[in-house]
Structure 1
Amino acid sequence: MHLLPFSLSLTLLLLLLSLSLAECRPDTFNKRQSHQIHPLRRQTGSAGTTTKVENLSCSSWQLAVETNNLRDWDVIPASCESYFGHYLLGHRYREDSSMVTKEAAQYARGLQLSGNGKDVWIFDIDETSLSNLPFYSKHGFGVEPISETLFDEWAAKGAAPPLPESLKLYKEVLSLGIKVVFLTGRTEEFREITALNLKRAGYYSWEKLILRKANEVTITALQYKSAERLKLTEQGYKIVGNIGDQWSDILGSPEGERTFKLPDPMYYIS
């Protein structure tokens, strides 16, 4: 075995140390986070160390939510606000979303389309096509009960940015000759501003934009979206894909040839 000269070993050690320090520098971190949906703001008293709190693992709570084992909940645990703030504004939320949309894109590329112009992919809007993190970051990431009045005021601005991973999937789907249908729980009064917001965010074309009518506001999201998908199939459309952040977006017949669930630990819609 040949040992490196002491001077060379010391040089290599110093080089490795300098690289490690550079990786941890704030400017390096900021470069990696340059494509955030919403700017990361450090929260007082939190540095990602609140993964586990007394009698509650926030990551386990999140897993139960995303697997639909925990249902009909109103707000996230108050002690998990910092945990979810770091998850949503950091890199992990984007990575989790990317895993979903990359798999969806691979599936889409392997489809044999009908060729009649009736193959469609359904996209939910809120927390799927558009991100409301600028709004929820000011309201505890789901700790506070959702105020419909405040959210409607936010939606009326038409300023929601796209979820970048979903926008990539949208462009991929269109390039393959699949038409896009936006199916949202927003009501008809928001049609014009929602269409404007979608176009501002980069969603420039779609086959249909479906919003709730006045007589549909009393039924559940699952009932409403299932019924709208059924109408599409009755009109001759084939739903080759369906993506949303809520289980109510993708459950209920006809759900589509294949469904994809994006992460969303902030709220639950049945």
Structure 2
Amino acid sequence: MRIYLIFLVVVSLFTSAFSDSILEYPSEIESRHKKAAEEDVNLHCTTWRFAAEMNNLAPWKTIPVECADYVKDYVMGKGYLTDLERVSEEALIFARSIEFSGDGKDIWIFDIDETLLSNLPYYIDHGFGLELFDHSEFDKWVERGVAPAIAPSLKLYQRVLDLGYKVFLLTGRKESHRLVTVENLINAGFQNWDKLILRYNYKQMQLLRL
């Protein structure tokens, strides 16, 4: 049995102004300084994003304050969608390259959050990552069951099914969110998976055993 696991896994500028009552600051020089500052921040935030995506950062809880506009522009613009499309296309190429074993046990595993379903509406309301992650608030979002599909992932999902893979969904969502997660997935266009694996509440399981 072979198992293929895919996780897709995604600037506030401060400028100084001098009072013209003291000395008029040449607008051309000011413009050059501002542009240079913007380029520095953009480079800093690009390298930070890349390191975060590669899991090469020390544990972090929020995005850098100076990268707020950068992150917003990225996820709301063409960059994020283009990255998603590229990853999905490469995953499909890989899926097509596999010669099935013939035992009906070739499995493709998808994560759910930020792989099949987008939580971007939640992060729009919470500063695009500037706020500390609040598990209770995120649970409320999950319980609404309105997370939209990530379009390139939905296309990949359908192609993987067409190729004959069994599809398992693996998520860190709680077992208590099974029903709302199933409804959300179906409403977003995801159907016919073989298994949905959620996170059990191990503390409750231990109490039941006692």
Alignment TM-score, normalising by the size of structure 2:
0.76
Residue 77 of structure 2 corresponds to residue 96 of structure 1? no
Q: 2:174 aligns with which of 176, 180, 187?
A: 187
Corresponding residue pairs, total: 170
Q: 1:91 to 1:206 in 2, by over 3 A?
A: same
Q: 1:85 aligns with which of 72, 81, 88?
A: 72
> Aligned equivalents of 2:38 and 2:155: distance in 1?
32
Q: Which runs of 5+ in 1 are unaligned?
A: 1-42, 218-270
**In structure 2, what is the equivalent of residue 125 of structure 1?**
112
- Measured after TM superposition, the shift of residue 120 of structure 1 is 0.8
Deviations 1:147-177 (A, max 9, x none): 1111111110100001111111101100000
- Measured after TM superposition, the shift of residue 50 of structure 1 is 5.1
> Aligned equivalents of 1:199 and 1:192: distance in 2?
11
> Aligned equivalents of 2:203 and 2:150: distance in 1?
27
> Aligned equivalents of 2:44 and 2:123: distance in 1?
22
**In structure 2, what is the equivalent of residue 223 of structure 1?**
none
**In structure 1, what is the equivalent of residue 41 of structure 2?**
53
Deviations 1:157-212 (A, max 9, x none): 10000111111110110000001100000010100000000001110111100001
> Aligned equivalents of 2:82 and 2:203: distance in 1?
35
**In structure 1, what is the equivalent of residue 63 of structure 2?**
76
> Aligned equivalents of 2:51 and 2:105: distance in 1?
36
- Measured after TM superposition, the shift of residue 51 of structure 1 is 5.8
**In structure 1, what is the equivalent of residue 200 of structure 2?**
213
Q: Which runs of 4+ in 1 moved over 2 A?
A: 49-54
Identity over aligned residues, as a percent? Answer: 48
Secondary structure, counterpart of 2:193 in structure 1: coil
**In structure 1, what is the equivalent of residue 9 of structure 2?**
none
**In structure 2, what is the equivalent of residue 107 of structure 1?**
94
For 1:94-243, list aligned pairs within 5 A: 94-215=81-202
- Equivalent pair of 1:50/1:80 in contact (CA under 8 Å): no
> Aligned equivalents of 1:57 and 1:203: distance in 2?
37
The one-letter amino acid of 2:69's match is S
The one-letter amino acid of 1:73's match is W
> Aligned equivalents of 1:154 and 1:101: distance in 2?
26
- Measured after TM superposition, the shift of residue 216 of structure 1 is 7.5
Task: Name the one with the larger helix percent.
Answer: 2
Q: Which runs of 5+ in 2 are unaligned?
A: 1-11, 15-36, 205-210
Deviations 1:226-247 (A, max 9, x none): xxxxxxxxxxxxxxxxxxxxxx
Alignment TM-score, normalising by the size of structure 1:
0.60
Secondary structure, counterpart of 1:104 in structure 2: helix
Secondary structure, counterpart of 2:198 in structure 1: strand
